Homo-oligomer: A and B are copies of this chain.
């Protein structure tokens, strides 16, 4: 019998058994190897930390609320393929699919992986896509000073894309020293402390402000400080949902210094950059070392013990970056 992760009600995580049907046309049945928890998104849904009237509420309601079945970053392999699907059993895939030992998914949401890749590393593909959208929204950064505010999973991955795009110097700002280790590993300058206290240090280290500031914190109160960190005519990229954007307020810097603010979101695929192409790029850059995932997966938990994984995130949000459910354990 297959099993999957479920939030039966607010604050509760369970593992439940489930039936798995056969794949129809354009579908594939997959067996999970590893799936990454999205600390931000899944935490918001588990604890219902969203404001009524937001798109969060709309999304939650449109799928019937609790019981909620979380997850969107799974690496698995093909068990069987439906009509018209040209994938062989055993083919490894990156799938936009929930945390389940086996399930049927549309091939449109599955992207072939090279069998040699580590499933736990490959499970970063979904955060890689979100953050690539931020890198695309940023101006060209070759040789330009760039600051990433926030060293959580989104900030870490955004920093890797920007590093791969030639940002120099690359800075990361976070109040938690343990996260900054991961910035230093990729050659970034790491500044530890509350964002409000680091504006001047960032301006000094970037020669008067960054060309691009990425706010990867999801906290509304950060924006005014992020704006101060940009150089005149510089750019601030808002990456990742802020639960309460109505509290994200400007400063006089926007008008007086001609700053540019742009939002980036997972859904901003274009004709040129769809999910498949981004996954392929991510994979090739991990393989050749331009994106270094070393150390980013901080927790691996056997899938049967999924509630412990969510508990770990709640207990120590700053200490959890990549949290992976291991379906082979």
Question: Which residue from B168, B247, B254 sits with its C-beta under 8 Å from A261?
Answer: B254
For A277, the chain B residues whose CB sits under 8 A away are 143
Q: Are A142 and B168 in contact (CB under 8 A)?
A: no
Q: If A261-B262, A288-B187 touch, does A255 touch B281 (CB 8 Å cutoff)?
A: no
Interface string of A234-255 (1 = CB under 8 A from B): 0000111110011111111111
Q: If A260-B262, A261-B260, A284-B168 touch, does A249 touch B251 (CB 8 Å cutoff)?
A: no
For A72, the chain B residues whose CB sits under 8 A away are none
Q: If A256-B263, A260-B262 touch, does A245 touch B238 (CB 8 Å cutoff)?
A: no
Q: If A142-B136, A168-B285, A285-B168 touch, does A254 touch B263 (CB 8 Å cutoff)?
A: yes
**A15 CB-CB contact with B under 8 Å:** no
Chain A: residues with Cβ within 8 Å of the partner, total of 56
Question: Which residue from B165, B258, B284, B290 sits with its C-beta under 8 Å from A268?
Answer: B258
Nearest Cβ in chain B — how far from A236, in angstroms? 9
For A239, the chain B residues whose CB sits under 8 A away are 255
Nearest Cβ in chain B — how far from A224, in angstroms? 7
For A285, the chain B residues whose CB sits under 8 A away are 168
Interface string of A254-296 (1 = CB under 8 A from B): 1111111111110110010100011001001100101000000
Q: Are B265 and A255 in contact (CB under 8 A)?
A: yes
For A256, the chain B residues whose CB sits under 8 A away are 55, 241, 263, 265, 267
**A310 CB-CB contact with B under 8 Å:** no
Query: A: which residues have CB within 8 A of B?
Result: 54-55, 132, 135-137, 140, 142-143, 161, 164-166, 168-169, 187, 223-224, 233, 238-242, 245-265, 267-268, 271, 273, 277-278, 281, 284-285, 288, 290
Q: What are the nearest 7 A-B pairs in CB distance?
A: A255-B263, A254-B263, A261-B261, A248-B250, A142-B165, A165-B166, A143-B281
